[in-house]
Amino acid sequence: MKSIFNTRQGNKRAAIGLSVLLIIMVLFKITLVILSRNYIYLITADFCRHILNPAINVLILLLLILLELILIPKVWLIVLTTVVGILALLLISSFGLIDRIDSKYFYFNSPDNSNTLIVEENTWLLAGWSDFYIKDNMFFVKKINAKILTDNGYRPFTNKDYILTWINNNTVELTYGFGGNGTVEKEIIRLP
């Protein structure tokens, strides 16, 4: 069995096309990793970067599977590499995704609309926390040095248990419920 595809010319064109797509996806993934080391993230649907990374991994795996279907003549080797690749991908993608699957995002514009503060609200077991980002431009957000913690996985933004006041276009005063029991915390968040 030479290949699943019929013609040698078709195999060559398909392999070249898939290789180019694979290289583009790998370069895109590397770019996202480099940006994330500087706390800069690509804005996606509702800014869920925890879904984007596994999605890119799946696309890379699918491209590899298609490429191996064209280039590898032995069916058992295709099945083995595909199963190993899928298991590795699931293992790698599950790190960081499990604890962030339920992230919620809230957007707040400064009074003159020059800044957008983004709140990423998370819970896991009995812990609750929110990370803060500033919208860098139309495509990227940057994590800022601010974080709040809550008790018992409480979500003050989801429960509308907060007061967010812009002191000026670069400073926010946040008063929020700490655990749903009436305890209130106050935080000043300075945007870069």
Q: Which amino acid is at 60?
A: I
Residues near 29 by beta carbon (within 8 Å), at least 6 away in sequence:
53, 56, 57, 60
Confidence of residue 70 (pLDDT cuts 50, 70, 90): confident
**pLDDT (mean) for 54-74:** 75
DSSP reduced 3-state for 4: coil
Confidence of residue 92 (pLDDT cuts 50, 70, 90): low
Going from the C-alpha of 59 to that of each of 55, 63, 158, the distances in angstroms are: 6, 6, 32
Q: State pLDDT tens for residues 24-51.
A: 888 887 777 777 766 666 665 555 566 6
Residues near 168 by beta carbon (within 8 Å), at least 6 away in sequence:
none
Q: At what angle do helices 8-37 and 49-71 cross, to 10 degrees?
A: 160
Global pTM reads 0.63
**pLDDT (mean) for 58-63:** 79
Confidence of residue 20 (pLDDT cuts 50, 70, 90): confident
Q: What are phi and psi of 68, to 5 degrees?
A: -70, -30
pLDDT at 71 (0 to 100)? 74
- DSSP for 105-148, written as a single string: EEEEE-TTSS-EEEEEEEEETTEEEEEEEEE-SSSEEEEEEEEE
Lowest mean pLDDT across 71-75, 139-143, 167-171, 185-189: 71-75
